[in-house]
Amino acid sequence: MSGARPGGAHPPAGTLEGRTARGDPAAGRAPLMTLTPASTPVSTSDSTAAADAGDADAPAASPSAPALTAPDGASLDARPLSTAELFRLRADFPALQRQVNGHPLAYLDSGATAQRPVAVLDAERRYLETANAAVHRGAHLMAAEATELFEQARATVAAFVGAGEDEIVWTSNATEALNLVAYGISNASLGRGGAAAERLRIGDGDEIVVTEAEHHANLVPWQELCARTGATLRFIPVDDDGVLDLDRLDEIVTERTRVLAFAHVGNVTGAIAPVERLVARARQVGALVVLDACQSVPHGPVDLRALDVDFAAFSGHKMLGPTGVGVLYGKQGLLDALPPFLTGGSMITTVTLERSEYLPAPQRFEAGTQKVSQSIALAAAVDYLGEIGMDRIAAHEAALGERMAAGLAEIPGVRLLGPKPGIPRVGLASFDVHGVHSHDVGQFLDDLGIAVRVGHHCAQPLHRRLGITSSTRASGYLYTTDDDVDRMLDAVARTVAFFGGAA
Amino acid sequence: MSSSELQSLYQQVILDHSKRPHGRGLVGDTAASSHQVNPTCGDEITLELHVGDDGTFERVAWNGSGCAISQASASLLSGLAEDWTPAVLQERIGQFREALRSRGAIEIDEDLFEDAAALGGVSRYTARVKCAMLAWVAAEDALTRLDA
Ligand SMILES: Cc1ncc(COP(=O)(O)O)c(C=O)c1O
């Protein structure tokens, strides 16, 4: 992770130094399964898991235990963060220090948006104080510096996800990134983009496949694309826990499928999708794979090239970075073939009154003034995460997720959504309290300083499929402690008594 | 221990009404009905106004799903409005909305709103005002469809 830092004046990543000193050995209750390569058997035993995770001969405990990363991506013996490390790291996050309703904040809504460390806030401010200028547009010194920092940020983020610099497009957020792909295909289908875009054209008789568990951001753009082109939308179902059911995969993803879009990690279930299997099927039938990596890239090592997906999207604000910046990854050849979505300044080569020619990717997709300070701050976030180690963050989160899932599953009247305890998930768990609406659960928890998400989490179809209209979601991150989780579990148990349980 | 603020939000009458709601169950056979959705949480309500021979509401029927606040509010509205004329209902909706949007500055008049005054605690929780308003917004919309 080469640290491209603004103007060399970036604060030493040193705020993190010493943090990797050996702390408590794997103290978590959960196995380190998210780190295990998909091709390596996974252990679901608990205390010995850290050792077992590296043992390629261990028996496979669950066939649905994929990894966040591709086979060669992660070290197999990452330790979760020690208590001492967590304590030091939490001091980097000013927002975590506040009190809420007279209690120390337990921030369990990082799946919606993460808090930002001082290093990220400082990087953005330093850029604005020293080098703020229009990028790719001016000839003066500050403009040149700004452009260089902006492009260095792209290289940093690219390296973080195993991509080439020209494969990373800045967008406003993941939602815009997914729309960019959908509109690019749409424009290709209208004949834009010439011969190169031919293979991206879709229409009557073609199919786009998504899953029943998608965030609206990875569903509605495809509905719209189908409506514009005459293609048909099809769905991979989920089981009663909300976990993908691939039994009929070969019937659903067929020769007619042109795009297969799915979330790497479910934002409601926390389940990790079997990317390898889905990509393999897409390759068999010649479909493009679009990965919604919003809930995976922030939480573990992800190598997009190794995963062999065609496009991927994620948002800066969910990975310690600013709001207003997101990323679209696309394989070079595909990005170069995709017609633009937003058009205007900064994405053209020659413009006449009648027509225009466009720059190659990624600039072709970056029309108008860009999110410069945000991109630079996102690179600082990536540096920060890299210093700690994504494999260790994944190990920490696997333990948190297991603690949440196991704890929730034990509370009478609580239905855990997503994978059962013992099955891999990130540090996130959603649940339904029988007879108590999620808003009331959330309000009760908020009163105790515990911040969780309530509602449908932008996944109405999944909730409908699970027979509920809303749920409560606790989502952690690298700074989340066992104590945060235990306070949440305790409060949820008391919620049932307060509201009188089932009607 | 939950705080006194939380207890003022979830007063016992509210919890009781949410568990044993009044007026729940649609009757049909009226043009004056409205379906409302709170898009942030997916809560929904359908509410019907049925005017009796004396010009007051004979029945305010509703069905829906939502949090304790929205369910209790629908239940309380349904009970209260059964003594009101359409003109009074119109006026009360305005008064109720004003109090709920006041961030605690305006109390709900107990003489006019009886037990529903307990919903006044919601006004300090701006994120929950929509929950308490849902049934009232449905009633407001249904009023526009009432035969003259
Ligand atoms: C899985 C998933 N996809 C897409 C999104 C959309 O992200 P954003 O709102 O930042 O565009 C989110 C976050 O809300 C998400 O969790």
For helices A372-388 and A390-410, give the axis angle rounded to 10 degrees. 80
pLDDT of residue A56: 37
- Say whether pLDDT at B79 is over 80: yes
- According to the model, what pLDDT value does residue A69 have? 53
The average pLDDT across B70-85 equals 96
Give Cα separations from A197 to A231, A340, A370, A391 (angstroms): 17, 11, 26, 38
Q: What pLDDT, on the 0 to 100 scale, is given for residue A15?
A: 30
Mean pLDDT of chain A: 87
**What is the pLDDT averaged over residues B139-147?**
92
Q: Report d(CA A196, CA A338) in Å as an integer.
A: 8
DSSP collapsed to 3 states, chain B: CCCHHHHHHCCHHHHHHHHCCCCECCCCCCCCEEEEEECCCCEEEEEEEEECCCCCEEEEEEEEECCHHHHHHHHHHHHHHCCCCHHHHHHHHHHHHHHHCCCCCCCCCHHHHHHHHHHHHHHHCHHHHHHHHHHHHHHHHHHCCCCC
The residue with greater pLDDT, A315 or A65, is A315
- Which residue in A has a C-alpha nearest to residue B38's C-alpha? A455
Instruction: Measure CA B146 to chain center.
Output: 18
For the stretch A173-222, pLDDT in tens is 999 999 999 999 999 999 999 999 999 999 999 999 999 999 999 999 99
Q: How far is B66 from chain A (nearest CA, A)?
A: 6
How many Å lie between the centroid of ligand 1 and the Cα of residue A176? 10
CB A447 to CB B3 under 8 A?
A: yes
pLDDT for A189 equals 98
Atom of ligand 1 nearest to the CA of A175: 11
Q: How far is B6 from chain A (nearest CA, A)?
A: 7
- Name the residue among B7, B128, B1 with its Cα closest to residue B69: B128
CB A329 within 8 A of CB A161: yes
Q: What is the pLDDT of residue A376?
A: 98
At A164, is the pLDDT very low, low, confident or very high (cuts 50, 70, 90)? Answer: very high
- Whether A405 contacts A418, CB under 8 Å: yes
Determine the average pLDDT of the residues in A32-46. Answer: 34
Percent of residues, chain A, with pLDDT higher than 90: 82
- What is the ipTM score, two decimals? 0.90
Among A443, A466, A471, most B C-beta atoms within 10 A, so best to mutate, is: A443
Q: What is the pLDDT of residue A67?
A: 57
| Residue A458 bears catalytic tag | yes
pLDDT at A38: 39
Chain A residues close to B6, C-beta within 8 Å: 443-444, 447
How far B140 CA sits from the closest chain A CA (Å)? 24
Q: A456 to chain B: nearest residue by CA?
A: B41
Between the CA of A28 and the centroid of ligand 1 the distance, in Å, is: 28
pLDDT at A35: 27
Weakest-pLDDT range from A55-69, A147-161, A366-380, A485-499? A55-69
- Chain B residue with minimal CA distance to A455? B41
Q: Is residue B130 over pLDDT 50? A: yes
Residues in contact with ligand 1 (CB, 6 Å cut-off): A 173-175, 215, 217-218, 263, 267, 292, 294-295, 315, 326, 458
Residue A23 clears pLDDT 80, i.e. is over it:
no
pTM for the predicted model, two decimal places: 0.87
Question: Of A313, A423, A458, A474, which residue is the catalytic one?
Answer: A458
pLDDT tens string A404-443 = 999 999 999 999 999 999 999 999 999 999 999 999 999 9
- Ligand 1 centroid to Cα of residue A85, in Å, is 29
- Residues B59-82 have a mean pLDDT of 95
Which domains are present in chain B? Answer: 3-146 (3.90.1010.10)
Ligand 1: centre distance to CA A304 (Å): 18
Q: Output the pLDDT for position A500.
A: 77
Residue pLDDT, tens place only, A227-257? 999 999 999 999 999 999 999 999 999 999 9
